[in-house]
Amino acid sequence: MGLAVAYEILKQGHSVTLYEADKQLGGMSASFVFDGIRIERYYHFICKSDQPLFDLLEELDIADSLRWSETRMGYYSQGALRDWGDPRALLKFPGLDLISKLRYGLLAFTSTKRSDWRKLDNVDAVTWLRKWVGDRAYDLLWRPLFELKFHHFTPNLSAAWIWARLKRVGTSRKSLLQEEMGYLNGGSDTFLDAIAGRIRDQGGVIHLSRPVKEIVIAAGRVQGVVTEEGLCVYDRVVSTIPMPYVAAMVPALPPAIRRAYDSINNIAVVCVLVHLTEALTPYFWLNISDPDIDIPGLIEYSNLNPLGGHIVYAPFYIPGEHPDFQQEDAFFIDKVRRYLVTVKPALRESGILKIAAGRYRYAQPICEPEFSARLPPVNPGVDGLFIADTCYYYPEDRSISESVQLGRRMARMAVKEK
């Protein structure tokens, strides 16, 4: 989002300096070298509705790096792998009566057709889903996934937010029976390198490993930012860092606004990445509902992006305050070794070439009913200051495309302000 802000500010004819705390660009979409393969730390797929991303790829002359794959979704449930994600799979799914299946299918279909989310804004997702699909289908198909992803926040999720996810994935299809997902040849790096290159070419300055310590305000106007180099004066400051860091970074903001930022809950992720000698399943996305497995799914990335190896992501979503988040990587890696064999009993220990874990503290904001009403405006009442993060594109879920769109919008707001 910060890169999109910087790119758009330059495009509007102004100068820009970008501060990144990490030693590399990309935040959640950054990559690393894993067993000789350069790959994103966390799984990423692109959907057909990601138009703001496609527009920017065009502008950066890298639209030809966008690739589409026919992907399959699966469900590990009742001790076996099952097809999932299309009407045929739904009809074949065991343990559900026909009426529940028809109700489930109707929910999936109407979700792709709905465009107005306002009526869902003040409804909680569990009530909404139970009403649509019934208790039995909810308990079998949704409850395990929700509880492993959202934990104690499960009863208080916005139905509008869950609907937006259903729609984004549900409309990324070639036909009723064929899902189609995208990726960038070269991964997110292709995009990050192109946009950073364009920013530098146009005179923008990018500082890595330089966290902003404070955003300084005086007399109702932003003055600049404090970094290890002291105060750097700017007449506009746009913050796109995760919201939980903001209140401490802008101590001069009114307490009510800082409290509103602090009140947004987040889930952390510990993501285990595995390099296998062989495919685990034929699925890109495998939902899991099994009492002995405490992750909501496995993402077999190489079934989306054939990058020359069999790569699986296993995400543990954990509240950051939970003691498990303090566990060593080995705690999660050992679990994943067991889960892989549960899903594919024929997998041998020697089939795991490499396994590693990474973690991100603020990986997923929790969007509760009436979420947008809780967010302070992007301009929190201080001239020249603009603040947002991934939760500001509610009801849409976090995505590169939404971050691009919001970043560009914030830049235009900043430039227009008198």
Ligand X SMILES: Cc1cc2nc3c(=O)[nH]c(=O)nc-3n(C[C@H](O)[C@H](O)[C@H](O)COP(=O)(O)OP(=O)(O)OC[C@H]3O[C@@H](n4cnc5c(N)ncnc54)[C@H](O)[C@@H]3O)c2cc1C
Nearer residue to ligand X within complex by CB, 44 or 409: 44
- Interface with ligand X by CB under 6 A: which range of 16-24, 77-85, 193-201, 329-337? 16-24
- CB 141 within 8 Å of CB 76: no
Structure token pair of residue 270: 């510990």
What does the per-residue mask of binding to ligand X show for 207-226, with x meaning CB under 6 A? ----xx--------------
- 31-50 binders of ligand X (CB under 6 A): 42-45
* Residue 395 lies near ligand X (rule: CB under 6 A): no
Tokens 């790829």: give the residue. 57
Minimum Å distance from CB 285 to ligand X?
Answer: 10
* Residue 104 lies near ligand X (rule: CB under 6 A): no
* Residue 19 lies near ligand X (rule: CB under 6 A): yes
Total of residues contacting ligand X (CB under 6 A): 31
* Residue 394 lies near ligand X (rule: CB under 6 A): no
Structure token pair of residue 156: 């208080």
Question: In the bound complex, which residue of the shown chain has the CB atom lying closest to ligand X?
Answer: 27
DSSP 8-class letter at 375: S
| Residue among 187, 206, 207 nearest 196 (CA) | 206
The string of DSSP codes covering 278-337 is S-S-S-SEEEEE-TT--SSEEEEGGGTS--SSEEEEEEEEEETTSGGGGS-HHHHHHHHH
* Residue 273 lies near ligand X (rule: CB under 6 A): no
Indicate the SS3 state at residue 390: helix
Q: How long, in residues, is the chain? A: 418
Tokens 């527009």: give the residue. 55
* Residue 363 lies near ligand X (rule: CB under 6 A): yes
* Residue 29 lies near ligand X (rule: CB under 6 A): yes
Minimum Å distance from CB 399 to ligand X?
Answer: 3
What does the per-residue mask of binding to ligand X show for 232-261, with x meaning CB under 6 A? --------xxx--x----------------
* Residue 303 lies near ligand X (rule: CB under 6 A): no
Among 12, 14, 17, 21, binds ligand X (CB under 6 A): 21
* Residue 1 lies near ligand X (rule: CB under 6 A): yes
Among 399, 409, 410, 411, binds ligand X (CB under 6 A): 399
* Residue 315 lies near ligand X (rule: CB under 6 A): yes
Minimum Å distance from CB 226 to ligand X?
Answer: 10
β-strand pairing of 230-233 with 31-34 = unpaired
Indicate the SS3 state at residue 245: helix
At position 172, the amino acid (one-letter code) is S
Query: What beta strand segments (E) does 152-240 contain?
Result: 173-175, 178-184, 205-207, 214-218, 221-227, 230-233, 237-239
* Residue 302 lies near ligand X (rule: CB under 6 A): no
Minimum Å distance from CB 346 to ligand X?
Answer: 28
Start-to-end CA span in the chain (Å)? 23
Nearer residue to ligand X within complex by CB, 302 or 399: 399
- Interface with ligand X by CB under 6 A: which range of 17-25, 55-63, 66-74, 278-286? 17-25
Minimum Å distance from CB 212 to ligand X?
Answer: 4
- CB 92 within 8 Å of CB 82: yes
The radius of gyration of the chain from alpha carbons, rounded to an integer in Å, stands at 22
How far, CA to CA in Å, does 318 sit from each of 22, 70, 109, 169, 242?
A: 23, 31, 31, 23, 17
Residues forming contacts to ligand X in the complex (CB under 6 A) are: 1-2, 19-22, 27-29, 42-45, 211-212, 240-242, 245, 269, 271, 315, 360, 363, 389-390, 398-401, 403
